[in-house]
Structure 1
């Protein structure tokens, strides 16, 4: 049976917040998508959907990888448009969370759904079997639940929930499609209320709410404790609730109360009085401008229950608690948390204890394995570790004994006993060979579905190790390795994968070895970013010590490395994800091809630190402009497209946007699943090699825009300076960028070679680097991480 789901066209039913964003992400992935909603009462019948599509451009973070993609979504309504379902292969229903409404819609669309199409409900907690019960018999095997997390473009998690009638091949086809085409991490959940992610995640929030009151802590204090200090997002607990919407929060809590009457923790499934009061006042969080937190002028204020009013949010984590949380050894950390007398430490222990208790108690009913719970919480809530990983790393037996003690002492939220398997002498639930499944009472390996063969390094769980491959050579800057095949991989070892002298020398050596012993080479990092660019601290140090010759030599070495990549006799493919800034961007510009993960934030940002790109980036733009214009063509028109990108230090907000900015080439590939990036990049390198790859011929007849081009750019800049859009120093930097892009003060249409342009880059880079204002900008960036406008 094939694991393939062929999706030529998809439909999304419901143009609310989630439906519209799911349609947007399908469109990002190149799927022809129809978005449905109710017919508008007046005006255009598709008015509801047209308004939702228009709104996609205003949302932040942006649901669309490029604003222009909005036009690709086809609007439709249930009254006149259902015929359009007949040529859809995948239909995702995403209307409001009401069983009766969803069932009515299924009855209405059933006659129009083709015999092969898959129908999935994007519900965050309604029963999948109950939904399936109203479908005609022949449709039930092609129906299941799929739960995207908000925002669907960025959240890695998608929960798949089979009904008892769902065909296994249908589920596998959808899992494969979600993984590769939409870039998701798929977790299979059982058909229980709120599935896995929200069942455990919302319980965690409810326990935090309960213990906040019990230990008399402030909301801001709790957020200081339950964010990055625990390896969780900086929006922590209460700020996250404001972002999600307090009404949504209350709705989910009510769903738990209504659908889980027998849950031993049922008594806690209720909104606290303060939450109901805020909702009653219309303070629903971020969307209404006020919730638990709100902004007053420049201050953030927080609700204070004792004062029944807002106060400045200034309560932090206590130094002695921070010291415990910063301990590297989790065993010691948990022992000290439990032993501490400090209310903040006692609060944290109580939250962890009840989360572990709840997760273990319910594991058998909600998930197939402990892996599914941990990955769902990591991918859906952004935690660095799931509940079971956290518990296991802190000494499973010891923590279990403490939980048993606390249950006996009446300290836990519930008196329910821990399941027998927790106390059977085990040291945890995750091991190299797989994760524990209570229903099978055995360890289950990861899925054997073929799509997962594309992930050389999946997101690792505690206890999992993936063979690192065979080292070809390594130095302080990078490691070159292979998997016994003909494509070598190079990975940087520096912090943020910045480019140091060791990285430059290592890359040149790697290219030589690849030419000699391999068919191709991929530059890939096991974790993002791809590269934050040149090592600024090292550069600033050399400058301030007055080592100008050393500084110039480094710039020259940078350019030599870029050229070595470009003219390698075997294809060098850059596999980009996350940030690719400055030199990181320049390396991928010189590669034979780039494979960029959708979430790639690429830019030549040197202007922000008072410099200009000098790793061959400006030279490469000049070469491309000359090629695009053709002999005697308008080079300036081509340069104009990229000048602003460089002068304003613009960074792409997606790989698709990087193509629009001219930072990626038309033929570069966009990959949707970060864990498949290496596989796709190696396939590209192999494909180029199999096609008889040759590097480009040396570019020694580059047509430049010359002095006329520089003068025209200066006119644009003067207007910006007079309108106060740029500072005087910004103007000077931009003028130098224009000078290099246009090939210097030559006649328009003059022909130069790459060496000429590289020399110009170096000259202006070194001159800028010696200026006081540039050194101030670099220093400021190193200190604060933010650009200085001087």
Structure 2
């Protein structure tokens, strides 16, 4: 038996002070990195190196974290915070860890050998978990004493762990329920995950359904004669799934990894009615045999040669030019907004691509109906597993329900009876019991319980005012919940019948035009009169939306065409003053930020009392991309902040970072990096679960108000003047003459430099904020008339991409 110290009584307040990750491979190292993102101390273990430093394996893995893309670390400098360890010298370190996650290779015998080593060193209250992607959790726990078995479970992160929302939590028959509750709370709030509890079945929920889906797609693609690039175009963004589609996703995951997951199904699901579909596709087997393992080996279903992406041609056994797309008629069907009409058009289509799409939908619906009872507690868990683990915007049961439950069920039955399906297994009786779907206001259907199951009521979910929505559930989503104070086409000002007012933008990408400016002023007035604070938050914050993509250039165009620059200037002035109004409001204004906060969106958050920001926030002043400079107070704030940070010392070193970020349109790749760039302050709150953003922002607003909040007094700002400007200009000249920036970029850089320097004044001159705002606005107006800027604006509006001229 693998012995562990005797169990003590559990404590209700479970705080993870330190995590150990066993295994510094791809997943282990990235799980450790994400713990560091969340400011959880972590120690990363691996075997002692045979040559060189004993911890060389772990040290190389940590170095590699800095190079990976997408980046596992929110700030790559934080790699140094990961503690290194090996199994020979450092097992005693485990005794101080509250959570131990094993993440070594998927070999039962290797895992058991490791467990024998580590079990005696696991603390009496620590949770021990395996990050296995499909091995039996009960089988892994064999040999543990009762105390450790009660604290052991599966905790399956999806790759890459920082970005994929899903974690599957899998108990053994002996895992104590409170262990799972504690771990779910930690995963949800601290690491920002969406937790789905899975049964201990091969590949759990997401991989079981998702890998079947990939196999079914390969089978049906071959049947209908479709190439891999056409399949990926059909099964990517057009279906609301990961834009990489099916085969490109397999290349990213690794074809050897895919083969391993398929073999797990082959070895453990021999009685499955879909067993014949689990055969390793011959093309996949051939590629693996040739060492073409996907992205990591440089070739798989695709191969990059120079700038060209080639695709595998199974008939030729070689790579040929790719890039083929869906037929126009199918692309038009997929743009149909009514899910009932869209699915009917695919079902009735005579086009091979349409028939292929109906076939993969039918196969998925057939599979999830037959297997729901054995793989998940209820339909909600299965849908969230696919949304959060495979990047689907809508889960398979949601798709079925939205497209017409009864009609789809009939069509699937007809295909099964006609021998067109991948299995002869009939749909379960509950599918035909008169229902219109599996999700309703009462909950989601559970075949094992023969009832609708409500959502978890664990305390951690009280932090989520609006939980992830489901088709058919009818839950409040923040677009209509609460009590509305004011609403028009641009904004909604509302509250949850408490003491904090909420301002939500309704514009596309939450861009800022006249309506939003008016809404900000209206919201501040109401908050000052009747509330403890104002939170700027948007209902789609957790679903990958933007905080704000900046100024609404589209709405400015008619103004510009009719009245020229003079017609635009009042709007820019109003924007500046609205931001100042946020800054000097008599109650705290909190920006609850997730996703893109660009240009005017970045300027807006700079003017709030405090920012509560999702880790996945991408913040920057990007106006140079459209040939403009920031004019909503962003450069004014750079000068104010640099002067404050200098504390009477030389301002220029503090100013350079702000100026360079604006001049190069540098956008942070995380909230942690935004803090490093100066867009966020040290006391701003970084939130890891975007569904908790509104809750935390409201808590911060109340806390500031209850502490006697007063807005800061308007500062008198010392500036670097013409002497400092000359120093900056010398650098810009070098960049222009070296070919690093264009002549127009040089002009923009000069205007940014002159603004943050305070203009043509003596070094050390004291100016006020309005002086800086006036310089911003003057240059902005001048640029609007410039042909090069107009080229950039039109290019961005037409293509969505910056023009370099």
TM-score, shorter chain, exceeding 0.5: yes
Task: Find the counterpart in structure 1 of residue 798 from structure 2.
Answer: 783
**Residue from 33, 41, 46 that aligns with 2:42:** 33
Match of 2:577 in 1: 560
Determine if the alignment matches structure 1 residue 579 to structure 2 residue 596. yes
1:736 maps onto 2:751 in alignment:
yes
User: Residues 11-40 of structure 1: CA distance to partner in whole angstroms, max 9, x if unpaired?
Assistant: 000000000000000010001100000000
Structure-2 separation of matches of 1:202 and 1:534: 43
Aligned-partner SS, 1:173: helix
| Residue in structure 2 matching 1:683, options 686, 691, 699 | 699
CA distance in 1, matches of 2:295, 2:231: 19
Provide Cα deviations, 1:158-202, integer angstroms capped at 9, x if missing partner: 000011111111100000000000000000000000000000000
Map of 1:598 onto structure 2: 615
Moved more, 91-100 or 345-354: 345-354
2:675 & 2:733 partners in 1: Cα distance?
28
- Please state if 1:653 is matched with 2:662: no
| TM superposition shift of 1:477 | 1.4
- Residues of 1 paired with 2:69 and 2:180: CA distance? 32
1:635 matched to 2:638? no
Tell me the equivalent position of 2:360: 351
Query: Is the Cα–Cα contact under 8 Å of residues 540 and 778 in structure 1 kept in the other structure?
Result: no
> SS state of the match for residue 138, structure 2?
helix
Q: Which runs of 5+ in 1 are unaligned?
A: none
Residues 1:671 and 2:684 are matched in the alignment = no
Cα pair 2:383 2:396 within 8 Å, conserved? yes
Give the match's secondary structure for 1:249. Answer: helix
Mapped to 2, the partners of 1:351 and 1:624 lie a distance apart of 56
Match of residue 786, structure 2, among 766, 771, 780: 771
Counterpart Cα distance in 1 of 2:591 and 2:750: 30
2:151 maps to which residue? 142
Distance 2:462 2:725 in 1: 52
Matched, 1:761 2:786: no
Distance in 2 (CA, whole Å) between partners of 1:491 and 1:339 is 42
Secondary structure of 2:150's counterpart equals helix
Query: Which has the higher mean CA deviation after the structures are superposed, 74-83 or 540-549?
Result: 540-549
- Which of 539, 543, 548 is the aligned partner of 2:556? 539
CA distance in 1, matches of 2:187, 2:12: 12
State the match for 1:409 in structure 2.
418
* 1:513 equivalent in alignment to 2:526: yes
Measured after TM superposition, the shift of residue 601 of structure 1 is 0.1
1:335-394: CA deviation from partner (whole Å, max 9, x where unpaired)? 221111111111111111111111111100111000000000000001111111111111
**Which digits, 9 at most, give the CA deviation of each residue in 1:114-157, with x for residues without a partner?**
10100010010000011111212211111100000000000000
Equivalenced residues, count: 788
- Structure 2 alignment gaps of length 5 or more: 1-9
Listed one character per residue, the Cα deviations across residues 753-780 of structure 1 (whole Å, up to 9, x for unaligned) are 1111111111111111110001101111
User: What is the correspondence of 1:602-613 to structure 2 with a 5 Å cutoff?
Assistant: 602-613=619-630
Contact kept? 2:215, 2:281, Cα under 8 Å? no
Hey, what's the Cα distance between the residues in 2 that align with 1:526 and 1:2?
A: 36
Q: Quick one: distance in 1 between partners of 2:425 and 2:473?
A: 31
RMSD: 1.1
Query: In terms of mean alpha carbon deviation, does 294-303 or 363-372 score higher?
Result: 294-303
* 2-structure distance, mates of 1:433, 1:131: 36
1:33-54 deviation line (CA, Å, top 9, x unaligned): 0000000001110000000000
Q: Output the CA distance in 2 between the equivalents of 1:653 and 1:348.
A: 36
CA contact (8 A) 1:10 1:32 kept: yes
Deviation, 1:621, is: 1.2
SS in 2 for 1:361: helix
Aligned partners of 1:760, 1:7: CA distance in 2, in Å? 50
CA distance in 2, matches of 1:624, 1:92: 42
1:573 partner SS: strand
- Which residue, out of 336, 358, 361, partners 1:327? 336
Q: Please name the residue that 1:439 is paired with.
A: 448
Which TM-score applies when normalising by structure 1? 0.99
- Give the match for residue 718 of structure 1: 733
Hey, what's the Cα distance between the residues in 2 that align with 1:3 and 1:320? Answer: 58
The residue number in structure 2 matching 1:289 is: 298
Out of 532, 537, 556, which is 1:524 matched to?
537
Q: Is the aligned partner of 1:93 residue 2:93? A: no
Distance 1:204 1:657 in 2: 37
Aligned ranges 1:128-277 → 2 under 5 Å: 128-277=137-286
| C-alpha distance after superposition, 1:547-587 (max 9, x if no partner) | 22220001101100100000000000000000000111111
Mark the CA change 1:466 to 1:397 in structure 2 (over 3 Å): closer, same or farther: closer
- After TM superposition, give the deviation of residue 543 of structure 1 in Å: 2.9
State the alpha-carbon separation in 1 of the partners of residues 799 and 128 from structure 2.
50
| Structure 2 residue matching 1:461: 3-state secondary structure | coil
State the alpha-carbon separation in 2 of the partners of residues 2 and 769 from structure 1.
63
User: Aligned partners of 2:487, 2:431: CA distance in 1, in Å?
Assistant: 44
Asked whether the equivalents of residues 3 and 176 of structure 1 are also in contact (C-alpha less than 8 Å), the reply is no
CA distance in 2, matches of 1:35, 1:239: 31
2: CA distance, partners of 1:671 / 1:371: 25
Structure 1 stretch 535-544 or stretch 166-175: which is displaced more?
535-544
Cα deviation, 1:252-286, whole Å, max 9, x if unaligned, reads 11111011111111112122221111112211111
Query: What secondary structure sits across from 1:547 in the alignment?
Result: helix
Note if contact 2:311-2:321 (Cα within 8 Å) is conserved in structure 1: yes
Contact 1:4/1:177 (8 A) holds in 2? no
42-51 or 335-344: bigger deviation: 335-344
Q: Which stretch shows the higher mean deviation, 667-676 or 325-334?
A: 325-334
Contact 1:4 1:176 in 2 (8 A): no
2:318 to 309, 314, 321: 309
How far did 1:476 drift?
Answer: 2.5
Shift in Å, 1:5: 2.4
| C-alpha separation in 2, matches of 1:644 and 1:560 | 25
Contact 2:129–2:152 (Cα < 8 Å) also in 1: yes
Tell me if structure 2 keeps the 8 A contact 1:110–1:136. no
**Correspondent of 2:723 among 700, 708, 712:** 708
Q: How far apart in 1 are the matches of 2:520 and 2:317? A: 61
1:750 correspondence with 2:765: yes
The aligned counterpart of 1:24 is: 33
- Greater shift, 341-350 or 551-560, is seen at 341-350
Match of 1:625 among 618, 635, 642: 642
Report if aligned partners of 1:540, 1:775 keep a CA contact under 8 Å in 2.
Answer: no
Secondary structure of the residue aligned to 2:657 is helix
1-side partners of 2:97 and 2:753: how far apart? 50
- Deviations along 1:435-491, one digit per CA (max 9) or x if unpaired, are 001110000000010111111111100112333110011233111100110000000
Following the alignment from structure 1 to structure 2, what is the Cα–Cα distance between the partners of residues 691 and 641?
Answer: 33
Partner Cα separation in structure 2 for residue 639 and residue 24 of structure 1: 31
> How far has the Cα of 1:3 moved from its partner?
5.5
User: How far, CA to CA, are the matches of 1:274 and 1:369 in structure 2?
Assistant: 35
Correspondence 1:480 to 2:489:
no
Secondary structure (helix, strand or coil) at the match of 1:436 reads strand
Shift of the alpha carbon at 1:650? 0.3
Q: 2: CA distance between counterparts of 1:432 and 1:685?
A: 32
* 1:2 shift after superposition: 6.1
Greater mean alpha carbon deviation, residues 742-751 or residues 298-307 = 298-307
User: What is the CA deviation profile of residues 277-326 of structure 1, one whole-angstrom value per residue up to 9, with x for unaligned ones?
Assistant: 11122111111111111122322211112233222113221122222222
